[in-house]
A and B are shown apart, each in its own frame.
Chain A
Amino acid sequence: MTAEHQSPPVHDAGLLRDAPLAPRRLPRDTPPLQRLTLWLRRSAWRHTLALLACFFSLFPIVWIVSASFNSVDNLTASRLIPSDLTLDNFVEAFTDDVSPVGRWMWNSFYLAVTSAALNVVVAAWGAYAFSRIKFRGRRTLLTSLLVMQIFPQFLGFVAFFVLAQEFGDVWAPIGLNTHLFLIVVYLGGAAGFNAFLLKGFLDSIPTSLDEAAKIDGASSWIIFSRIIMPLARPMLAVIFMISFVAIFGEFILASFLLKGEEQLTLPVGLQVFLADGYNAKWGVLAATALVGSAPVVAVFLFAQKHIIAGLTGGAVKG
């Protein structure tokens, strides 16, 4: 794979409008009846299919919303519009002693923010080197980063236990069952991908800018921090948001490496609501789900276009 494939291939979706696959709009003077039949023939089936797809898309979402406001504690007996709307599930989710949902949400949130911020820093340094500095073994290194990228990090879970054990022996706050260890694991896992994503963007910034600065005697640190990074700010934001979304929802590594109620992240903690199969607390789960996805959906809607560009660049769903 070359850099071109990793850099965002998706453009403004509005460009789609320029695809003249069919005749343009009907003339203004078309009689209404003809308009209707033409619409039925041309567009009605499209809307039918689109509505079906909408139904498919929204089916689980609607039930999350419904169950979260329903006093009956499951996804089953409830009706779509609950007979008695209640906020009890939300209250229970955030006050129950057994399941400190608020705590989990905070854990997830600050883990995601910290890791995402550090991710951006590490990725920025790496991308700058790959994009701006000619050094021996650059191509080889780039290719090996890409190859390493295809191995899902969580497959190495046995090694993480060994590392956590050893790190913890040296300094307890980075041992097993600590957030700090999880953060460095996330950092290591995302470094290659993010650096690659950003490199594509940096390549598009003209090198004449840094050459001019170099002539004025600027060190590479000055070029990096005063020239390149300010220009790359939009892409840095994208990397931050992609990392945030991915880490906020990360389940597998967090479930391996964190134990103890207080430490858990939201995805891991939520399992307690389902621990007891038949008495699964769907209402509370749904309420939590609603609140829990809010930050992510918000981030998504806020920066839809940019995130999509980044995500489709790497073919990864966090």
Chain B
Amino acid sequence: MDSARNTRLLRRRLQRSTGRALVVRTAAVALFDAMGVYALVSFAGNGTLSVAALMAFALALVNWAYLSPRTQGARWLTPGLVLMAFFVVYPVLYTSYVSLTNWQTGNILTKDQAIEQLEQRRVRTGESGESGDLIVYRNGADDLVLLVVGETVEAFAGVPRSSDDEPGAATAAFAVPADFEPEAPPEEIEGYELLSGLGVTAVAGRLQDLELDLPDGRSVVVETLTSFRVTTGGKRFAYDPATDTMFDAQQGRRCAAGTGTFYCDDVPETDVARIAIIAKDSTIRCSGGICDRVPLFALDPSLTGWRDLIGFDNYIDLAQEERIRSPFLRVLIWNIAFAVGSVLLTFAVGLGLAMLMQREEMRFRGFYRSIFIIPYAVPGFLSILVWRGLLSTEFGKVNELLNAFGLPDVAWLSGNYQAMAAVLLVNTWLGFPYMFLISSGALTSIPTELIEAARVDGAGPFRRFREVVLPLLLVSTAPLLIGAFAFNFNNFLLIFLLTGGGPPLAGYDVPVGSTDLLISFTFGLAQSSGRGQQFGLASAIIVVIFLVLAITSALSFRLTKKLEEIYDR
């Protein structure tokens, strides 16, 4: 039979293609392994163990899924799972981790990086007499030579080195004319030509990073474009890994590593920044003019610390510290009000229009429907910007429209309550088409017999709506409404583009505006503010947002289940 032969042929072809697939698959896995292991080594080498662990997981998953003969679903799911692990799960976990750290300006680096940076610091002499005149020369190859002279420094010309390099014996000293006067420096030193004032300005960026070693063992660094400062050349800090302590040569003290930085004992109170002593979370204990447990940054704010786990301190700050708690609470309340208000307004408008359009013999329904969808089709980032222009107080078209009806101007974007109204107005415009669409869909699914039965029983239109239509409508739309709530709860785009969170509120320590949502407020904290970038605190707020959303969705699971039980009989 022909068909039997065909089946056999087909089967053979299928089997052959399976064999070929195995070869291709193995080769692909091998390639992925090669790249993955290379990346893994790089991640681990950088000390980012979390990313390395993630990569290890990805490698394990891929090898298991494609080489083990028994896996079925995993083969299809692995690409998506790996992508989600990296770009959905990892960010959530990482944010939770950051929320438990002191990651902020001054504590950005890892401990190793911070120690490395501290060990580059030089002992500072700070004596005013130890400076003098600096004159810059340059040759055709763009190499620089510095000529220095000062009260305690004899005239000396030499090739500078980068400030990152170890100070060494002075390289290539040049002969300086004996009758040398700083006011009239020689025009040329051994092929290097004197740079004019403008010429020096042009190389200012390079000068900053240069040091020149003097024959007597001292070094000079560039202070201004025409003056230098002497450093004694020694390194200020030396780290001892065995005891995990840092020796401060400038003060002759050994400081022990603690949370986020090194802590020094027996420091004269006059050396410690006042603000660091009185800070709420200060570790400093002073008695009799001598302080213990002084963190390095209290001695000099430019001495960097590292990011370190600090437990739940960020959360405690959110709950207790007034300067953070009061703006946080304010933003939280407005955020909930905004999300609920947005859902109610858009749903009311959308449902109203859907019911309006439901009457089947109404003319132009298709036309109306397409018009209603337009706000949804225009990309949000464009329409929000346009609304911002339309809502301008002085020239905006919205106020022009109000004036035409004899109403006064409204300061849409600069008044606190007006801005809240503006945000809701624009969000209603953005969101009602969606609600219109889902309500239209849901209305058609309501059995008309039910409504007719209510009508026959003498229920008026409002009663029919409240007791028959609305409950049935909510069954199918509740999950979508909750989804809309979650979306609006984090409607960063709207706030960022329309008001930027503003108008700013006075009287708070942290930057906060009257229309700020938690997420835009957080964004402000993570970017810079007066107190620097506060990633730790920002992440704590993000975790709070996660929790709110998780609770909301848990409730929604329950609610939909319940509604289904009630109405799905």
**Closest partner residue, chain A, to B392 (CB atom):** A76
Q: Chain B's nearest CB lies how many Å from the CB of A34?
A: 16
Within 8 A of B (CB), among A3-46: 5, 9-11, 13, 15-22, 24-25, 43, 46
Contact A219 B18 (CB under 8 A): yes
**Interface residues, chain B, CB within 8 Å of chain A?**
7, 10-11, 14-15, 17-18, 21, 38-39, 42-43, 46, 48, 50-51, 71-77, 79-80, 83-84, 86-92, 94-95, 98, 349, 352-353, 356-364, 368-383, 385-390, 392, 394-397, 429-431, 433-434, 437-438, 440-445, 448, 451-452, 476, 479-484, 486-487, 490, 492-493, 496-497, 519, 526, 535, 538-539, 542, 545-546, 549-550, 552-553, 556-557, 560
User: Is A227 an interface residue, CB under 8 A from the partner?
Assistant: no
Interface 9-residue window, one of A86-94, A95-103, A143-151:
A143-151
Say yes or no: A63 contacts B386, CB within 8 Å.
Answer: yes
Q: Does A275 contact B (CB under 8 A)?
A: no
Query: Does A201 touch B at the CB level, under 8 Å?
Result: no
Docked CA distance A18–B84 (Å): 44
On whether the beta carbons of A133 and B76 are closer than 8 Å, the reply is: yes
Closest to A218 in B: B14
B86 to chain A: closest residue by CB: A188
Which residue of the partner chain, among B88, B376, B479, contacts A189 with CB atoms under 8 Å? Answer: B88
CB-contact partner of A20 in B349, B379, B386, B448, under 8 A: B448
Contacts of A169 in B (CB 8 A): 42, 46
Cα distance, A222 to B441, chains bound together (Å): 37
Known: A16-B443, A57-B375. A151 touches B369 (CB 8 A): no
- A249 to B379, Cβ gap below 8 A? yes
Contact A135 B74 (CB under 8 A): yes
Chain A neighbourhood of B79, CB < 8 A:
121-122, 125-126
- Given A18-B360, A60-B386, A312-B438, also A155-B395 (CB < 8 A): no
Give the distance to chain A from B429, nearest Cβ to Cβ, in Å.
7
Most chain A beta carbons < 10 A, residue from B371, B481, B542:
B371
A166 to B42, CA, bound (A): 8
**In the complex, what residues of A have CB within 8 A of residue B377's CB?**
293, 296-297, 300-301
A91 to B11, CA, bound (A): 62
**Contacting A54 at CB < 8 Å: which of B368, B389, B444, B452?**
B368
CB distance from B172 to the nearest CB of A (A): 37
Interface 1/0 per residue, A129-161 and B, CB below 8 Å: 110011100100100010110111111111110
Further pairs besides A16-B360, A267-B382: 14, Cβ < 8 Å = A1-B557, A15-B444, A24-B361, A57-B372, A123-B80, A125-B79, A129-B74, A130-B77, A163-B87, A169-B46, A188-B83, A191-B84, A216-B7, A219-B17
Question: CB distance B84 to A148 under 8 Å?
Answer: yes
A13-B440, A15-B444 given as contacts; is B373 within 8 A of A153 (CB)? Answer: no
Q: Which residues of B contact A304 (CB under 8 A)?
A: 373
Chain B residue numbers with a CB within 8 Å of A314 are 483
| A75 to B383 Cα, complex, angstroms | 13
Evaluate contact between A1 and B493: CB separation under 8 angstroms: no
Report yes or no: B360 in contact with A251, Cβ–Cβ below 8 A.
no
Could you list 11 A-B pairs, sorted by A, with CB under 8 Å? A16-B443, A19-B358, A20-B448, A50-B364, A59-B390, A61-B375, A64-B386, A155-B542, A166-B48, A166-B51, A249-B382
Contacting pair A63 B390 (CB below 8 A): yes
Expressed in whole angstroms, the minimum distance between the Cβ of B7 and any Cβ of chain A is: 6
| Complex interface: chain B residues within 8 A of A172 (CB) | none
Q: Which residues from A are CB-within-8-Å of B440?
A: 10, 13, 16
CB contacts (< 8 Å) of B443 on chain A: these are 16, 19
Q: Which residues of B contact A200 (CB under 8 A)?
A: none
Does any Cβ of B come within 8 Å of A235's Cβ? no
**Using Cβ atoms and an 8 Å threshold, which residues of chain B touch A285?**
385-386
Closest chain-A Cβ to B128's Cβ sits at a distance in Å of: 42
Contacts of B526 in A (CB 8 A): 157-158
Contact of A75 among B357, B389, B481, B552 (CB under 8 A): B389
What mask results when residues 287 to 318 of chain A are scored 1 for a CB within 8 Å of chain B, else 0? 00100110011001100100010011011111
The answer to whether the Cβ of A85 comes within 8 Å of any Cβ in the partner chain is no
Least Cβ–Cβ distance between A297 and chain B, in angstroms: 5
Q: Which of B72, B452, B479 lies in contact with A135, CB distance below 8 A?
A: B72
Q: Give complex CA distance A300, B377 in Å.
A: 6
CA–CA, A50 to B257, complex, Å? Answer: 70
Given contacts A125-B76, A195-B80, contact A280 B389 (CB under 8 A): yes
Chain B residues with CB below 8 A from A11, complex form: 441, 444-445
Question: Do the beta carbons of A22 and B359 come within 8 Å of each other?
Answer: yes
Instruction: Please state if A156 and B91 are interface contacts (CB–CB under 8 Å).
Output: yes
CB-contact partner of A129 in B18, B48, B76, B360, under 8 A: B76
A-side binding surface: helix, strand, loop or mixed? helix
In the complex, A58 has a CB within 8 A of chain B: yes
Query: A81 contacts which chain B residues (CB < 8 A)?
Result: none
Q: Which residues of A have CB within 8 Å of B10?
A: 216-217
Q: With a CB–CB cut-off of 8 A, which chain A residues contact B361?
A: 22, 24-25
- How distant is A74 from chain B, measured CB to nearest CB, in Å? 7
Q: Which residue of A lies closest to B444 (CB)?
A: A15
Beyond A192-B84, A300-B373, A315-B487, is A248–B379 a contact (Cβ under 8 Å)? yes
The answer to whether B492 touches A151 (Cβ under 8 A) is no
> Are B374 and A58 interface neighbours, CB within 8 A?
yes
Tell me whether A209 is interfacial, beta carbon within 8 Å.
no
A151 lies within 8 A of B382 (CB): no
Contact A153 B91 (CB under 8 A): yes
Most buried by A among B83, B368, B394: B83
Pick from A126, A156, A252: contact of B80, CB under 8 Å: A126
A296 touches B51 (CB 8 A): no
Question: A9 and B353: CB pair below 8 A?
Answer: no
Which listed residue, A61, A129, A316, touches B487 by the CB 8 Å rule? A316
B479 — which chain A residues lie within 8 A by C-beta? 1, 5, 315
Task: Tell me whether B371 and A58 are in contact (CB under 8 A).
Answer: yes
Known: A21-B451, A125-B79. A43 touches B386 (CB 8 A): no
Report the minimum CB–CB distance from B532 to chain A (whole Å): 15
Q: Which residues of A contact B92 (CB under 8 A)?
A: 148, 151, 156
Which residue of A16, A155, A245, A267 contacts B519 across the interface (Cβ within 8 Å)? A155
Residue of B whose beta carbon sits closest to that of A138: B73
- Does A60 contact B383, Cβ atoms closer than 8 Å? yes
On chain B, the residues within 8 Å of A109 by CB distance are: none
Q: Which of B14, B362, B372 contacts A217 (CB 8 A)?
A: B14
Q: Are B389 and A163 in contact (CB under 8 A)?
A: no
Q: Which residue of A has the minimal Cβ distance to B395?
A: A76
Choice from B87, B438, B519 contacting A185 with Cβ under 8 Å: B87
* Known A76-B395, A159-B90; contact A267-B381, beta-carbon cutoff 8 A: yes
| Cβ 8 A contact of B72, one of A64, A154, A188, A220 | A220
- Is A274 among interface residues, defined by CB-CB distance under 8 A? yes
Partner of B38, one of A170, A308, A312: A170
- Is there a chain B Cβ closer than 8 Å to A240's Cβ? no
User: Nearest chain-A residue to B98 (Cβ)?
Assistant: A158
Minimum CB distance partner of A312 in chain B: B438
Question: In the bound complex, what is the Cα–Cα distance between A59 and B375 (angstroms)?
Answer: 10
Contacts of B374 in A (CB 8 A): 57-58, 61, 297
Residues of B close to A296: CB separation below 8 A:
377-379
> What residues of B have a CB within 8 angstroms of the CB of A47 in the complex?
362-364
Expressed in whole angstroms, the Cα–Cα distance for A145 and B553 within the complex equals 13
Question: Is B437's CB under 8 angstroms from A10's CB?
Answer: yes
With an 8 A cutoff between CB atoms, is A69 at the interface? no
* Residue A286 CB within 8 A of the other chain: yes
